[in-house]
Amino acid sequence: ETMPFFNQESLQQRLQALIDGARESWAYAIFWQSSVVDFASQTVLGWGDGYYKGEEDKNKRRGSSSSAANFVAEQEHRKKVLRELNSLISGVQASAGNGTDDAVDEEVTDTEWFFLISMTQSFVNGNGLPGLAMYSSSPIWVTGTEKLAASQCERARQAQGFGLQTIVCIPSANGVVELGSTELIFQSSDLMNKVKYLFNFNIDMGSVTG
């Protein structure tokens, strides 16, 4: 059962407060909520809530490795998925030219897509960046394309593939707060303090993993 402190409305406000007022340009914030899977006695981090802000200049990050043909094909795939999701949420049958699909015809950026596919992911305690942060009870801060690409965590490599340059996972009371950016953002105590304040958790500042 979700505690009142972590109800979804409250979570959304906290995630929004975390990045809307920040000096740095974060593209998104996600709260991975921990729960125990009874049959396996394992802690699993699943989607709690997320706030998507977007990048400052989306044109800057376009199609890092793909050709024009691949880009078009990938966009078609993303738009198709978005159309189906729109249909699922609104209950209106998806079809090209439908007024409700206007937003789908706009390019689906890499960060938007990364945020969307994040909703399908979960992490067993100790696995992936969020799981590792939870397991070690210490924040993980990865800055730079090379470091993300060289990470042992699939999520970090996936983030790099979608143009992110910074990803941070900070453990909190019953989950992990993750932030991502297409900019290079270096470790700051400001963010840690903000998470500590908003998500009510004592972080050992000396134990941040680079």
Partner 1 sequence: ADLPIARRNSLTRFLEKRKDRVTSIAPYQI
| Full DSSP string of 136-201 | HTS-EEEESHHHHHT-S-HHHHHHHHTT--EEEEEEETTEEEEEEESS-----HHHHHHHHHHHT-
Question: Smallest distance from the beta carbon of 33 to partner 1, in angstroms?
Answer: 8
Which residue from 34, 48, 131, 148 is in contact with partner 1, where contact means CB under 8 A?
48
- Between the CA of residue 160 and those of 13, 101, 198, what are the distances in Å? 27, 29, 27
d(CA 22, CA 56): 13
User: Nearest Cα to 126, choosing from 114, 116, 140?
Assistant: 140
Count other C-beta atoms under 10 Å from residue 117's C-beta.
13
Told to check if 146 binds partner 1 by CB under 8 A, we report no
Question: Smallest distance from the beta carbon of 206 to partner 1, in angstroms?
Answer: 33
Told to check if 192 binds partner 1 by CB under 8 A, we report no
Cβ nearer to partner 1, comparing 53 with 155: 53
Q: Which residues inside 69-128 make contact with partner 1, applying CB under 8 A?
A: 82, 85-86, 88-89, 102-103, 105-106, 112, 115-116, 119
Question: Could you tell me if 189 and 205 are in contact, meaning their C-beta atoms sit under 8 angstroms apart?
Answer: yes
Question: Could you tell me if 81 and 112 are in contact, meaning their C-beta atoms sit under 8 angstroms apart?
Answer: no
Told to check if 12 binds partner 1 by CB under 8 A, we report yes
Question: Smallest distance from the beta carbon of 164 to partner 1, in angstroms?
Answer: 17
Told to check if 52 binds partner 1 by CB under 8 A, we report yes
Cβ nearer to partner 1, comparing 85 with 124: 85
Question: Could you tell me if 207 and 141 are in contact, meaning their C-beta atoms sit under 8 angstroms apart?
Answer: no
d(CA 60, CA 15): 25
Say how many residues touch partner 1, by CB under 8 A.
22
Told to check if 50 binds partner 1 by CB under 8 A, we report yes
Question: Smallest distance from the beta carbon of 184 to partner 1, in angstroms?
Answer: 25
Residues that bind partner 1 (CB under 8 A): 8, 12, 33, 47-50, 52, 54, 82, 85-86, 88-89, 102-103, 105-106, 112, 115-116, 119
